[in-house]
Amino acid sequence: MFADRAKIFIRSGKGGDGHVSFRRELFVPNGGPDGGDGGKGGDVIFEVDEGLNTLYDFRHKRKFSAQDGEQGGKRRCHGGNGKDIVLKVPPGTVIKEAESGKVIADMSGDNVRQVVLTGGKGGLGNMHFATSTMQVPKYAQPGQSAKELWVSLELKVIADVGLVGFPNVGKSTLLSRVTNARPKIANYHFTTLSPNLGVVDLEGGRGFVIADIPGLIEGASEGVGLGHEFLRHIERTKAIIHMVDAASTEGRDPIDDIHKINSELAAYNEELANRPQVIAANKIDAIYDDGQDPVARLKEEFEPKGIRVFPISAVSGQGLSELLYYVRELLDTLPAEDVIFEPEYFPDEVLIEENLPYTVTKSAEEENTYIVEGPKIEKMLGYTNLDSEKGFAFFQKFLKDTGILDELEAAGIQEGDTVRMYGLQFDYYK
C-alpha cells in the first residue's frame, strides 16, 4: 500500500537527575559531596533508507520515544545515557511541525540523517555545588526535560520532470514506453493511485527521472478527487510535461485542459505554474481529418508563450525521441541542484522557551537572602553553562526577560543581598 503522509508523536529522552550523596569512609566522618551527574537523554533521529518508498510503517504506530538518561549515583558515578531512537524514512520525506506546517527537515540530497529532537542534558550532582560558604550542598541539578512534538511526514517524490494531465490522456502508456517503470494501465479515472517514477535512458548517459503524477481534475488544489493527495509530488520537479489528448477522444478540448491544469497548479503553489513546461500532444494517430488540426491550434496558443508543443503517439512511439531530447536540453539549462525545502521550525529553540512559572520569596531563616524557585528555573539551569562568558550573559538576559529582576526589586532586594536558585547562589548588584 502506498502511503505518502503520516502524523506521529515524537519524544526525546529526559536527562537523568544529578545525585545527592556524601562520602562515608572510615576515619572521614564528614566527607564531602560525591553525588554523580545524570546521563543524557536519547535523541530522536530521522534517517533515510533508500530501500523505502512509502510511509506505510507509520500508519500503525504513531508514538515514538527515546530512552531517558539514568540518574547519577554515589561516589561520583555518572548515570548512563539514554538510547537514541532512529526512525527510517524514504528519501524525499519532509518533516513538518504538525500544527503550523513549518518545515523542520527535508530528508533529501545530502541530508540523510537528522537529529530532530535532542535529549535532555543530565543534571549535575551535588559535588559540583560545594563552595567555601556551602560545603554540604544538599541540592543536585535535575535533568533537562524531555522534548515532545507532533510532526507530520510528507513524501514528495524526487524527480526531474513531472508528467501531468487529465485522466486517460496516456501518461502511464508513455511512462511504460520510455522508462523502466511498469505502471498499471486501464481506461478509467485515477487508475494510477500512486506516483510512478521511471528513468529515461538517453545516449551518453544523459537520462533523467520522470514522475507520472496521478490524473488531475478541476478542483484538485482544493482536495477534490485525489488530485490534492498528489500535487505535493510535483513540487520537487524542475520541469513539467503537460500531456493532452490531441484527438479529443473523450470530447475534451486540449487547450482548455492545459489552462485548467495550470490553474490547479497555481492554486496549489504559484511557483509550480511558473516552472518550465512542455506540451505532449498525444494520440495523434487517432485524429480524424475533419479539416481542423488540433496540434496547430495548440502551437498557435502556447508556442508564442515559449511553451513547445510536440505531437506524439505514446502507443506507436511517434515523436517520442524529439520530445525526450528537448526535455533533456531544457533540464541542462536549469540549476543542477535538487529542490530542497529549507528549515523553518527549530524544535530545540522553540520548545525550550516554554512559559513555566516561578516564585520569588524572601527567606524567613536567612537575613538579606531571596529565594527564586520553579520549574522554569530548573529547566534554565539544566541547559545553561554558567562557567562560560556566553552562558552567564544568557543567564543575565534570562533573569531580565522573564521579569525575575523586577520581582526581586519589588520584593525589596538591595545591592549586596544574596539570591539563591537551588544550588546556585550569588550576590545581587545592579
Could you list the residues known to form a binding site for Mg(2+), using ranges.
Answer: 172, 192
Contacts of 16 (CB under 8 A, 6+ apart): 37, 38, 39, 40, 41, 68, 69, 70, 71, 72, 79, 80, 82, 122, 123, 143
Q: Report the alpha-carbon distance of residue 87 to residue 62 in Å, rounded.
A: 11
Q: Report the alpha-carbon distance of residue 11 to residue 351 in Å, rounded.
A: 12
Helix (H) or strand (E) holding 279: strand 277-282
Asked whether 298 and 281 are in contact (CB, 8 A), the reply is: yes
Longest dimension (CA), the chain: 113
Helix (H) or strand (E) holding 265: helix 254-268
Contacts of 134 (CB under 8 A, 6+ apart): 425
Nearest to 125 by CA among 19, 214, 53, 212: 19
Binding site residue list:
165-172, 190-194, 212-215, 282-285, 313-315
Binding site residue list for GTP:
165-172, 190-194, 212-215, 282-285, 313-315
